[in-house]
Amino acid sequence: MTLFRQLYDTPTRRFTYLIGDPDSREAVAVDPTPEGIVLPLLAMVADFGLRLAYLLCTHAHEGEATAVPLMQSRTGARVVAGERAPIAADRQARHGDTLTFGNEVIHVLGTPGHTPACLSYLWRDRVFTGHSLLIRGCGRTDLTDGDAGTLFDSITLRLLMLPGDTLLFPGHETHGRTVSTIAEEREHNPCVAGRSRDEFITHRSSR
Amino acid sequence: MTLFRQLYDTPTRRFTYLIGDPDSREAVAVDPTPEGIVLPLLAMVADFGLRLAYLLCTHAHEGEATAVPLMQSRTGARVVAGERAPIAADRQARHGDTLTFGNEVIHVLGTPGHTPACLSYLWRDRVFTGHSLLIRGCGRTDLTDGDAGTLFDSITLRLLMLPGDTLLFPGHETHGRTVSTIAEEREHNPCVAGRSRDEFITHRSSR
């Protein structure tokens, strides 16, 4: 049975995800960014006898602390990030790319707006949206070359177009929720539900 | 599709769980104890159009703050707890009892030791263990009439005897993990893996 684990870092309110293929023992981690997640994540990888093939970064901010280089040096995994993301990537991925590990395939979705290089990753019926689409929220657009109109397009034309029962696993959460679905966010996400692109941009710039 | 959600309260490091039956719209919440979880949980119940039938308490400590009475008055749900648990329960449940809501059945497991009235709840392939069995850990036994030998028996004879692929959802977690399995805890839980009952008791009392 394919292994899937969600980890939460309390100080940064960020999620990290581990996906492991039991046959090949290959695994990927999505956003192993918080320093506090390194030891629990490495323990989990060791307990399951896995080898990390990829560290998938949804995004990065210039100058922000990140445990990704430490995880890279500790595991030998290849770092994947969007083009021009401010992180030392072994592979720059683009919308439409696929990544394989073991018997598993991950589809790369370009979801810029929070940053120009934001990516989301689709694995089976699960999408990892970083800080682009959150549970009942979305990423800020007033940092690091954020752009509200671009974010609206990414959310509505790329993420909310996925099948409704796709499980949404965000990169950040402050209200204790751990998962949502695309159908739920289409209906209940206050950033975009019933809101036009212009209204979204106006609301973002007024914050 | 049956709804299942895990919520995490950062200040208390506690989990709350919501299970909803989409046909009958009936739902239960396991350990809606942290005050910070009330609003996200009620919003979730409202978004899904659910009616809370039961609030399932794994345990309580005398004098400890709990949002269960507030949830009870806000929702009309019936509070379920172990016999002699220090909480105003509508139903005192015992090992072997079953609870039904909609088309779903929950099995009550008596798992005393952390407190004398601790319960765990088994739903399908998922067990909610409160503070009895944690991910790579177990509950304290130096509070509220805790008893180390009793806890060892509950963990080894009732919880770790469940099928290995049973998903373990604890009530508390400090290292960011969100789920484990019974098989994993049999092998890796440092409290009990490779440890005799006497060793467990000695180790507990030396802390």
Q: How far is CA B203 from the centre of its chain?
A: 24
Predicted local confidence at residue B205, as pLDDT: 79
State the number of CA atoms in the 13 A half-sphere of B140 facing the CB: 7
Selecting from A5, A39, A176 the residue whose C-beta is nearest the C-beta of B37 gives: A176
Task: Give the pLDDT confidence of B130-187 residue by residue, as tens digits.
Answer: 999 999 999 999 987 999 999 999 999 999 999 999 999 999 999 999 999 999 999 9
Q: Contacts of residue B8 in chain A, CB cutoff 8 Å?
A: 8, 176, 178
CA B78, B84, B88, B90 dihedral sign is: positive
Chain A residue with minimum CA distance to B9? A176
Strand partners, B28: B19, B54
To the nearest whole Å, the CA of A27 is away from the closest chain B CA by 17
DSSP, collapsed to helix, strand or coil, labels residue A14 as strand
Chain A residue with minimum CA distance to B165? A1
Assess A196–B contact: CB distance below 8 Å, yes or no: no
Predicted local confidence at residue B1, as pLDDT: 81
Selecting from B5, B176, B188 the residue whose C-beta is nearest the C-beta of A10 gives: B176
Selecting from A39, A40, A184 the residue whose C-beta is nearest the C-beta of B47 gives: A184
Dihedral class, residue B24 (left if φ above 0, else alpha if ψ from -120 to 50, else beta): alpha
CA A185, A57, A178, B108 dihedral sign is: positive
Contact B30, B80 (CB under 8 A): no
Pairing of strands A14-20, A3-9: antiparallel
Say yes or no for a CB contact (<8 Å) between B5 and A175: no
Say yes or no for a CB contact (<8 Å) between A40 and B178: no
Which of B 160-189 lie inside 8 A of A, CB atoms?
165, 175-179, 184, 187-188
To the nearest whole Å, the CA of A83 is away from the closest chain B CA by 30
Chain A residue with minimum CA distance to B6? A178
User: Other CB atoms closer than 10 Å to residue A187's CB: what's the count?
Assistant: 12
To the nearest whole Å, the CA of B40 is away from the closest chain A CA by 7
Q: Contacts of residue B16 in chain A, CB cutoff 8 Å?
A: 176
Q: Contacts of residue A175 in chain B, CB cutoff 8 Å?
A: 39-40
* Residue B183 amino acid letter: A
Say yes or no for a CB contact (<8 Å) between B178 and A176: no
Pairing of strands B133-134, B137-138: antiparallel
Query: Best interface-test mutation with B: which of A2, A8, A172, A174 has the largest number of B CBs within 10 A?
Result: A8
DSSP, collapsed to helix, strand or coil, labels residue B42 as helix
- B191-207 CB burial, b ≥16 within 10 A, e <16: bbeebeeeebbeebeee
Q: How far apart are CA A34 and CA A66, in angstroms?
A: 6
Selecting from A39, A47, A178 the residue whose C-beta is nearest the C-beta of B178 gives: A178
DSSP, collapsed to helix, strand or coil, labels residue A165 as coil
DSSP letter at B157 equals I
Structure tokens at A186: 């289409």
Q: Minimal CA–CA distance to B42: which of B80, B72, B12?
A: B72
Given a cut of 50, the residues of chain B with pLDDT beneath it are: none
Q: Contacts of residue A39 in chain B, CB cutoff 8 Å?
A: 175
- Please tell me the total number of residues recorded for chain B in this structure: 207
Predicted local confidence at residue B171, as pLDDT: 98
Predicted local confidence at residue B82, as pLDDT: 97
Predicted local confidence at residue B207, as pLDDT: 59
Q: How far apart are CA A103 and CA A24, in angstroms?
A: 8
CA geometry: angle at B98 spanning B97 and B99, to 5°?
A: 130
Provide ipTM, 2 decimals: 0.89
Phi then psi for A141, rounded to 5 degrees? Answer: -125, 10
Structure tokens at A105: 């395939």
Where would I find the beta strands (DSSP E) of chain A? 3-9, 14-20, 26-30, 51-56, 78-82, 91-93, 98-101, 104-110, 119-123, 126-128, 133-134, 137-138, 167-169, 180-181
Contact B107, B120 (CB under 8 A): no
Mean pLDDT by 10 residues, chain A (207 residues): 95 97 97 97 97 98 94 97 96 97 97 97 98 97 91 98 98 97 97 95 82
To the nearest whole Å, the CA of B116 is away from the closest chain A CA by 29
Q: Contacts of residue B176 in chain A, CB cutoff 8 Å?
A: 7-10, 16, 36-37, 40
Contact B33, B57 (CB under 8 A): yes
Predicted local confidence at residue A33, as pLDDT: 97
Q: How far apart are CA B162 and CA B165, in angstroms?
A: 8
Predicted local confidence at residue A143, as pLDDT: 84
Q: Which helix (H) or strand (E) holds B5?
A: strand B3-9
Q: At what angle are helices A68-75 and A38-47 packed, to 10 degrees? A: 30
Predicted local confidence at residue A113, as pLDDT: 97
Say yes or no for a CB contact (<8 Å) between A176 and B10: yes
Pairing of strands B98-101, A119-123: unpaired
